[in-house]
Structure 1
Amino acid sequence: MPGTEEQKQTFLAAPHFAVVGASKDETKFGTKVLKWYVEHDKEVTPVHPKESEIQGVAAVRALAELPDPTHTSVSVITGPKITRGLLEQAKALGIPSLWLQPGADDEGIVEYINENGLGDRVIYGGPCVLAEGESVLKNVQV
C-alpha cells in the first residue's frame, strides 16, 4: 500500500534528510532527488559507498555514519537487493521514516516491510518525493 498523506508529511517534517542512490551522474533519479532537497533548503546528506561528496554536498558512506539517524528521513533510490539491506540498517538505527523511489521495492521488500513492523515508517509503491513533495510540503507542520 502506498504511503498515506500523513506518512509523507511526517517524512518531510524531519529536521534532516538523507538520499541513498545519488551519484555524480546528474541524469539519475537519486541525484535529482538530492537536488530537490537542496533546492528546498533541506539539510540533506547523500549516502554513497565510494564518494565523499555529491553535487557539492558532503556524503557519508553508510546510514550508520549519519550524524543523527533517529531524526533523519531517508529517500531510497536503489534496486530491491540493496533496498533490503538498507531497510535492515534503518530498522537497527531507529531511522523514523523512509520513502522508496518506484523501482526500489518488489514483492520481497513489501513482505519484509510487513513482517518487520515497518509499515508505518516506509512509504512505497507509488510516486516519489519528486512527484509529490511540493504538494506535501504545503501541508507540513514543522
Structure 2
Amino acid sequence: MTTLDPIDQFLQGNVFAVVGASDNRQKYGNKVLMAYLKSGYRAIPVNPTADEIEGQVVYPNLSAIAEPVHGVSVITPPSVTEKVVREAIDLGIQHIWLQPGAESETAIRIAQEAGVEMLHSGPCLLVALALR
C-alpha cells in the first residue's frame, strides 16, 4: 500500500478556496489563484473586499461558497489565519495549506486538535505545482 505525501493528498481534490486572493498580480494571493487555474483546478477566490478576480466570482468568506471545497490555501496575516482555520473546520473542510507568511502556531494547533490535515512551514503551492 502506498501512502500519499501530504502535498499529493492535498491536491487530490478538484475544488480549492484561496483565502486572501488578490486582484493585484504582484501579490501571492493572485499568484496562488492563478497557479490553481493554470493547473486545471477549480479555484474559488475568497476576499471580503472584492467582487471579481481574474474573471472568477469572489466570495467574502468560506461560508458563502455554495459548493463543497476540498481544500483551502490561506494567504492572510496570521491573526486572520486563525479565523479562517476555525471557519474551515466548522464547515468540515479537511485540508488546509498555510502559505508562507500565513502561519500561526495557534491556527496550527487548532487544526491539529480538530484532526484536519494541515500543511505549513514548508514550500508554497507555487513550488509544489511547478514541480508537477
Instruction: Report the Cα distance in structure 1 between the residues aligned to 2:23 and 2:16, rounded to whole angstroms.
Output: 19
Instruction: Report the Cα distance in structure 2 between the residues aligned to 1:114 and 1:73, rounded to whole angstroms.
Output: 15
The equivalent position to 1:126 in structure 2, one of 122, 127, 131, is 122
- Alignment-derived partner of residue 20 in structure 1: 19
> 1:5–1:127: structure 2 CA closer, same or farther, 3 Å change rule?
farther
Q: What do the CA deviations read for 1:47-79 (whole angstroms, capped 9, x no partner)?
A: 01021110111111110112223x421110011
Q: 2:45, 2:53 within 8 Å by CA — same for their partners in 1? A: yes
Instruction: Report the Cα distance in structure 2 between the residues aligned to 1:125 and 1:134, rounded to whole angstroms.
Output: 18
The equivalent position to 1:77 in structure 2, one of 66, 75, 78, is 75
RMSD: 1.8
Instruction: Report the Cα distance in structure 2 between the residues aligned to 1:133 and 1:5, rounded to whole angstroms.
Output: 16
Report the TM-score when normalising by structure 2: 0.88
- Alignment-derived partner of residue 97 in structure 2: 99
Choose 29-38 or 4-13, whichever is displaced more: 4-13
Q: What do the CA deviations read for 1:83-137 (whole angstroms, capped 9, x no partner)?
A: 000110001000121111011113333333333333xx111111111011243xx
1:42 has 2:33 as partner: no
**Paired positions, count:** 130
Runs (5+) with no aligned partner, structure 2: none
Of structures 1 and 2, the one with the larger relative CO (CA 8 A, separation 6+) is 1
Q: AA paired with 1:111?
A: R
Question: Alignment partner of 2:5: what SS?
Answer: helix
Choose 83-92 or 9-18, whichever is displaced more: 9-18
- Alignment-derived partner of residue 60 in structure 1: 59
Instruction: Report the Cα distance in structure 2 between the residues aligned to 1:25 and 1:132, rounded to whole angstroms.
Output: 22
> 1:68–1:96: structure 2 CA closer, same or farther, 3 Å change rule?
farther
Report the TM-score when normalising by structure 1: 0.83
Runs (5+) with no aligned partner, structure 1: none
